[in-house]
Structure 1
């Protein structure tokens, strides 16, 4: 049945000579003007319409971006389907009463509950009985077709009101990320110029909005972001000591023209001071050999780590990265291996039986502070043998 349905869709798109040969399949596949949905879905709709919820069905049809949003089309001709109410005296056993795809126009979906007819409708019951009798016994659907002019618009507006209130619905189509823009605005990233500015997908950043909207940034938030994004163990070591270079104008000098040389009043020895409050160390691992290579300099994942740290921490703090390699993957350099000299290999046999945490370097030295994060020639420091 699915194969026959696909053949009819091809015929409607432009093939000729098969319309008369496929009478059975044409009753189960849509004709011109229909959204490009799986033909099997239309076959199920025709055979068992009562199994489908109206809003879920319209949402599935609305997810295809080849037509305007249902309820937002400027003209009826731009809408890919027609909606109407089945005149019936029965209380609605289901939302959808039937689907008709036999006509030359767009497919027609009939429902039970919402409309002018029926026991819950505003019209007198005898009008429902009359419309039903004319349609079923005289093949005259004039009254119901006239009422469907209003039903179609009312049902689409009813659906659009529901869909706009469901935040997840805006992700169904690539051109309707309305709720994503709302969440991005909470992170001061709602403007178009602030999107797609680095190697992190905007949707991933929106997913982490719970951490990024907070004014106070703590190590736990950075750990959770990196752990969820990269799916590797993450640890943050705070208060890592570092040497901070003193500005040339602040260096202590003695003599008649000296400056900053008063003991206890600003005098310092040397060109740098030890600082333990402006740097932290980010540790990833233990990692497998494959994961380890994915975070080495020049890799996309390392660039994403830098982008995440800049997004969450900013440029106020200095930081360094430690990659921990699993002990079973830490072995000596071998010929014809893909180990990188100086980044993931050892000369001879590694004597320690613990995970290898030798790799420590500063990723910020590898990338500029621009949004594009272009690599520069500055080498990274490593304590590995090779």
Structure 2
């Protein structure tokens, strides 16, 4: 591998080389690998010869733990060989002369994991013997053990990238657990099309609630409260008349049907369903904030999508938006009002909040 390309002054890579003890091992390795990936592409810089050299260096660099030649990786890793406790995960990060090719090799010393150290498999007496050999300028045994330590640390780095639940220093969507959380929330390909008005991260953040297939009013109230950031109250058992299908209705006569008393005999064409819907109380809030929930607005569509996703599209939902009376809107060009939604005649002075009643249908309209 060629000599390391120096990072820009003041960058995170430069700070890593100055004070490596302030970084975690995983963070440092991610920074070093991304520096190599972020090098200028051929033909985009002003120095063509420098770009060719960087391109040749990139072509000979493997990701940690993926290749068979450690010399082709971005950094050389060395583990502990002393029975001592280190105050930080990284002991040092410096350039070490390369005996195979001209130039220096970036080498990182860590005390996190390895053959030696206070918790390593090597006995303390053997680690002390290695230090004595090093003082006598015999580094052959240490260099041989470093081959295994580099491989162990590289594999640990790969395992952390793949199996760590919340991988830091990376976008949440690139986390290994992100797809599992989507599956727990029920965000399949069919449901994603219906939730285009909702940010996916808002649902992923409530995976603990959505993973439970038993839907409760308390869980949905918590979901709305954190999503819209306002007081929310839910009331269940909002009954309504449901139309009975013609095939289930009772018909008298010789060719009648559904006439067995106590089983399928029905009188009428409608039935009262006590669990037909719910009522949502939003607020109190300022008039300008309440306008978000008017029909056609984004918050109104998001609320309808949340209700359909959580309870199903067949649930009837009524909404009452409570508006504080501290700021009463007046008619004018500056404050246009919507008739039948948030407008009322203030003939008599009254105390308390105003209420705007809405109804959500399956398609999200009123």
Give the Cα–Cα distance (whole angstroms) in 2 for the partners of residues 338 and 258 of structure 1: 59
1:97 aligns with 2:68: no
User: Where do 1:190-205 residues align within 5 Å?
Assistant: 195=192, 198=195, 199-205=197-203
| 318-327 or 108-117, larger mean C-alpha shift | 108-117
Which residue of the partner structure matches residue 209 of structure 1?
207
Number of aligned residues: 329
Aligned equivalent of 2:230: 232
Q: Does 1:129 align with 2:103?
A: no
The DSSP-based 3-state class of the residue aligned with 1:240 is: strand
Q: Deviations over 1:247-273 (max 9, x none)?
A: 5677789999999999995333xx756
Paired position in structure 2 for 1:54: 25
User: Could you tell me how far 1:278 is from its partner in structure 2?
Assistant: 1.0
2:284–2:353 Cα contact (<8 Å) kept = yes
Q: TM-score, normalised by structure 1?
A: 0.66
- TM-fit CA distance, 1:183: 3.0
- The secondary structure found in structure 1 opposite 2:318 is strand
The 2-side partners of 1:298 and 1:99 are apart by 58
Q: 1:111, 1:218 → 2: CA distance? A: 50
TM-score of the superposed pair, with normalisation by structure 2: 0.69
1:231: Cα distance to partner?
A: 0.8
Change (3 A) 1:284 1:258: same
What's 2:299 paired with? 301
Partner of 1:322 in structure 2? 320
1:358 aligns to what SS in structure 2? Answer: strand
Which residue of 16, 37, 41 corresponds with 1:45? 16
| Range that drifts further, 347-356 or 253-262 | 253-262
1:111 aligns with 2:110: yes
Measure, in 2, the Cα distance between the counterparts of 1:292 and 1:31: 56
Rate the CA distance shift 1:146–1:228 in 2: closer, same or farther, 3 A.
same
Gaps of 5+ in 2: 39-60, 98-102
- Which residue in 1 is equivalent to 2:266? 266
CA distance in 2, matches of 1:186, 1:281: 27
CA contact (8 A) 1:170 1:178 kept: no
DSSP 3-state at the match of 2:290:
helix
1:219 is displaced (CA, Å) by 0.9
Structure 1 segments unaligned to the other structure (5+ residues): 1-25, 136-140, 368-379, 381-386
Between structures 1 and 2, the one with greater strand share: 2
Distance 2:11 2:228 in 1: 37
